């Protein structure tokens, strides 16, 4: 895929998945902007990776729950790079696994603000620019939206709503040439997926992996492959879809 002359924005570029996606888009020729939250070191490392691919990079610490801050950053990216072709939402807050009955209401508000509101703020600010370039959006969700996992509601609730948001955008913006899709990861060896495996311990981790039809965790690069495909012209007639990259765990 040749993305020369294109501009991508990755929300959550410092995450395990976001960093792999940003690096892939840069390797295919796009200039890549990204947001980060707390991880200044990973942001600096990602800037270097993008620049090493010969592309322009622009990372910023952005509070995703602040619509004005997100809007200002999207505007800054467009004025700096000249437009926007691809928006990837790959962010999501850390959360404690908990049964619904035990979820503290403050945690519920926190994940909805950071994840669901954050995604909405990003797509809302990006849409006029994506229309101008007939661009596309890919949101990283979770395979659990299809087959729920106990104690995972703090991830699944915002990701299910983000799936609905992508379908609504696909329906409403197709006439403007804008596509919107989701990539739904299963257990990935990196980021939150690896954190969860470490938290549950090796015995439970082995049980979880054994229940995956392909009997292994996925890689961050496999998620980047799917995002790269869905955001490219090769997927030009695909919109409103979710591509599960999960080893079949939701079956
Ligand atoms: N990895 C998996 O196995 C897996 C599976 C299914 C779904 N997912 C979902 O995919 C998304 C990315 O996963 P990941 O594994 O790449 O996670 P990760 O490595 O923990 O990265 C999360 C990203 O979100 C940013 N972030 C966290 N809290 C934030 C907040 N309050 N406001 C703004 N940004 C915030 C982080 O920024 P900083 O690092 O700068 O703080 C980082 O860029 C998550 O929503 C996750 O639930 C992951």
Q: What are residue 33's DSSP bridge partners?
A: 9, 58
Query: In which order are the strands placed within the sheet that holds 86-89?
Result: 57-61, 31-36, 7-11, 86-89, 136-140, 179-185, 242-245
What is the reported pLDDT for 137?
99
Determine the distance separating the centroid of ligand 1 and the alpha carbon of 15, expressed in angstroms: 5
The dotted CATH code for 7-244 is 3.40.50.720
What is the reported pLDDT for 163?
98
What's the Cα-to-Cα distance from 212 to each of 91, 131, 224, 230, rounded to whole Å?
Answer: 24, 39, 20, 24
Determine the distance separating the centroid of ligand 1 and the alpha carbon of 192, expressed in angstroms: 7
Q: Sorting pLDDT into bands at 50, 70 and 90, what band is 1? A: confident
What is the reported pLDDT for 201?
94
| pLDDT, tens only, 135-161 | 999 999 999 999 988 999 999 999 999
Q: Sorting pLDDT into bands at 50, 70 and 90, what band is 102? A: very high
Nearest atom, ligand 1, residue 95 CA: 47
Mean pLDDT of 28-50: 98
Residue 178 has φ and ψ, to the nearest 5°, of: -95, 130
Domain ranges of the chain: 7-244
**For ligand 1, is residue 188 a contact (CB within 6 Å)?**
yes
What is the reported pLDDT for 149?
87
């Amino acid at each position: 895929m040749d993305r020369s002359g294109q501009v991508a924005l990755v929300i959550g570029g410092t995450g395990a998945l976001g960093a792999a996606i940003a690096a892939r888009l840069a390797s295919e020729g796009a200039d890549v902007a990204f947001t980060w939250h707390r991880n200044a070191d990973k942001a600096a490392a990602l800037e270097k990776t993008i620049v090493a691919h010969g592309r322009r990079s622009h990372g910023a610490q952005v509070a995703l729950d602040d619509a004005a801050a997100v809007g200002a950053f999207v505007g800054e990216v467009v004025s700096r790079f000249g437009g926007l072709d691809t928006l990837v939402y790959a962010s999501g807050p850390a959360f404690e696994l908990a049964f619904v009955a035990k979820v503290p209401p403050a945690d519920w508000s926190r994940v909805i603000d950071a994840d669901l509101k954050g995604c909405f703020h990003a797509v809302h600010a990006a849409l006029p620019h994506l229309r101008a370039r007939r661009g596309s959006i890919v949101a990283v969700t979770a395979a659990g939206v299809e087959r729920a996992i106990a104690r995972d509601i703090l991830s699944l609730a915002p990701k299910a709503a983000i799936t609905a948001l992508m379908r609504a955008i696909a329906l409403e913006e197709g006439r403007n040439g804008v596509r919107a899709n989701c990539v739904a990861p299963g257990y990935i060896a990196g980021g939150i997926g690896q954190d969860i495996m470490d938290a549950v311990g090796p015995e439970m981790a082995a049980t979880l992996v054994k229940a995956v039809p392909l009997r292994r965790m996925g890689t961050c690069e496999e998620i980047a492959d799917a995002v790269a495909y869905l955001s490219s012209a090769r997927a030009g007639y695909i919109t409103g879809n979710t591509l599960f990259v999960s080893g079949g765990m939701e079956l």
